[in-house]
Amino acid sequence: MRTVVLYGREGCCLCDDARLVLERVRAKHPFGLTQHDIDADPALLRAYLERIPVVTIDGNEAFELFVDEAQLERLVADPDPRIAPHPTRRYPSRVHPDELHGRPR
């Protein structure tokens, strides 16, 4: 069974939307779900503040900002334990400063 973690915070409407998607998919494809409030841990707050909600599957980041329900279903139903990065992710989790100014690294 997969382990899914939702990083978010109280009052975050995108986090609420992500939680609803996770619960819908979980009803069809059971998985363990843990939720972490980033405000409770300074390290989580630094890591995820501008990116929440962030969803990991078996320790690998799968989604940030929005959860694609169809993709989530495929990922949690897939028996292959390796999780590929979200194919439509538009927001890189790490950007080198030179890339912000159009300079190749």
pLDDT in tens, 26-79: 999 999 999 999 999 999 999 999 999 999 999 999 999 999 999 999 999 987
Q: Which two tokens stand for residue 39?
A: 């405000």
Q: Which residue has the tokens 């841990």?
A: 41
Domains of the chain from N-terminus onward: 3-79+92-100 (3.40.30.10)
Q: Which residue has the tokens 């939720």?
A: 35
Question: How many angstroms separate the Cα of 83 from the Cα of each of 7, 46, 62, 75, 91?
Answer: 18, 24, 7, 7, 18
Angle formed by the axes of helices 69-77 and 13-28, nearest 10°:
40
Confidence check: pLDDT of 103 > 80: no
Using a pLDDT cut of 70, give the percent of the chain over it.
75
Q: What is the pTM of this model?
A: 0.76
